[in-house]
Amino acid sequence: MSHRFYILRTSYCVLFTSFLLLLTSAASAQLPALELVKKVKAKLDKVNDYVATGKMKTDVVFIKAPISNIKAYYKKPNKFQVKRDGGISLLPKGGVSVNISSLLLTEEYTAIDAGNGTVDNQQVRIIKLLPLNENSDVVLTTMYIDEKALLIRKANTTTKDNGTYEMQMSFGKYADWGLPDKVVFSFNTKDYKLPKGITLEYDDGSKKAELPKNKKGRVEITYSSYVINKGVSDEQMK
């Protein structure tokens, strides 16, 4: 009698444990990589256009520039323009896609799940996007996606012509639109040199430190406001 009771009790325990395990796994089920990317894209697609105001800081070893006030214009599907108030700016070529929508512009890619990670203490899914088009300048994009908020917190892009660049984004009041408050863009820089005979350089006699070679450059844009879906004219995009 006691033996039968023991078997019955063990069976219930196994059944209960299995049920608990099933519940846990259901709760932690992750979206397939492609699904997740599509969801993020759908969120970004709510933005047809925007005009963003912000400040840009350039940190490239051979570029000496003050912090500048900029306006960024975006229009679907891939028009993006940065204009500076009263001055010249040098933006890294990959930086044209400082807007994250263009990262997901094409649908011709394969999304591969590369596990989980953290960016700024936020849990993220790591997704690798491989373009299917052989002529695409982008070779590989690695995205660090906040699955809960459906936000791209970081993206590493390797291109054929413009090297590898990294975008890290911080979100605030425009997170519902998927638009960052701050974008930090890192990239590799080449050396810059002009002959002194051409520049007719003024030598002030001070000792100049040797500039580090192949240092990473950084462009930091902090947006203070966005005007979203209010229309952007073609004139503004010029």
**Whole-number Å distance between alpha carbons of 47 and 151:** 14
DSSP category for residue 85: T
Q: Which residues bind another protein (CB under 8 A)?
A: 57, 59, 62-68, 82-84, 86-93, 95-96, 162-163, 187, 189-197, 199-206, 208, 211
Q: Could you tell me the smallest distance in angstroms from the CB atom of residue 217 to another protein?
A: 8
Q: Quick one: 90 or 139, whose CB is closer to another protein? A: 90
Q: Minimum CB separation from another protein for residue 234, in Å?
A: 18
Pick 78 or 229: Cβ nearer another protein: 78
- The smaller minimum CB distance to another protein, of residues 148 and 207, is found at 207
User: Least distance from C-beta 89 to another protein, angstroms?
Assistant: 4
Q: How far is the CB of 168 from another protein (least distance, A)?
A: 18
Enumerate residues 6+ apart whose C-beta is below 8 A from 216. 186, 187, 188, 189
Q: Which is nearer to another protein, 109 or 187 (CB)?
A: 187
Sign of CA dihedral 140, 142, 148, 149: negative
Using CA atoms, how far residue 64 sits from 61, 194, 216, in Å, is 8, 16, 15
Residue type, 33: A
